[in-house]
Amino acid sequence: MSTAKKTISDIKNAKGAAQPLVCLTAYTDPLATLLDPHCDLILVGDSLGMVLYGLPSTENVTLDMMIAHGKAVTCKPRQAVIIVDMPCGSYEAHKELALRNARRIMDTTGCDGVKLEGGKNMAATIAHLVENNIPVMGHIGLMPQSANKEGGYMVKGKTDEEIKRLLEDAKAIEDAGAFSFVIEATIEDVARTITQSVSIPTIGIGASAACDGQVLVTEDMLGMLTGHTPKFVKKYADLAEEISCAVESYANEVRSRKFPSGEYLYGMKK
Q: By the criterion CB under 6 A, which residues form the site for ligand KIV?
A: 25, 43, 45-47, 85, 182, 205, 215, 217
Q: For residue 162, count other CB atoms closer than 10 A to its CB.
A: 17
User: How many residues in the chain?
Assistant: 270
Judge contact between 201 and 175, C-beta under 8 A. no
Query: By three-state DSSP, how is residue 248 classified?
Result: helix
Taking the least distance from each CB to ligand KIV, the nearer of 25 and 101 is 25
Taking the least distance from each CB to ligand KIV, the nearer of 182 and 262 is 182
d(CA 227, CA 243): 16
Q: For residue 28, count other CB atoms closer than 10 A to its CB.
A: 14
Rounded to a whole number of angstroms, the minimum distance from the CB of residue 146 to ligand KIV is: 12
Identify the CA nearest to 39 among candidates 76, 86, 84, 5.
Answer: 5
CA 73 to chain centre: 12
Rounded to a whole number of angstroms, the minimum distance from the CB of residue 124 to ligand KIV is: 22
Taking the least distance from each CB to ligand KIV, the nearer of 53 and 259 is 53
Catalytic residue list contains 184: yes
Taking the least distance from each CB to ligand KIV, the nearer of 190 and 217 is 217
Taking the least distance from each CB to ligand KIV, the nearer of 129 and 213 is 213
d(CA 40, CA 99): 25
Q: How many CA atoms lie within 13 A of 177 on its CB side?
A: 15
The one catalytic residue among 184, 219, 253, 263: 184
Q: For residue 108, count other CB atoms closer than 10 A to its CB.
A: 17
Rounded to a whole number of angstroms, the minimum distance from the CB of residue 143 to ligand KIV is: 9
Judge contact between 98 and 128, C-beta under 8 A. yes
Determine the residue with CB nearest ligand KIV: 45
> 180 φ, ψ to 5°?
-175, 165
Judge contact between 23 and 30, C-beta under 8 A. no
- The residues carrying an active-site annotation are 184
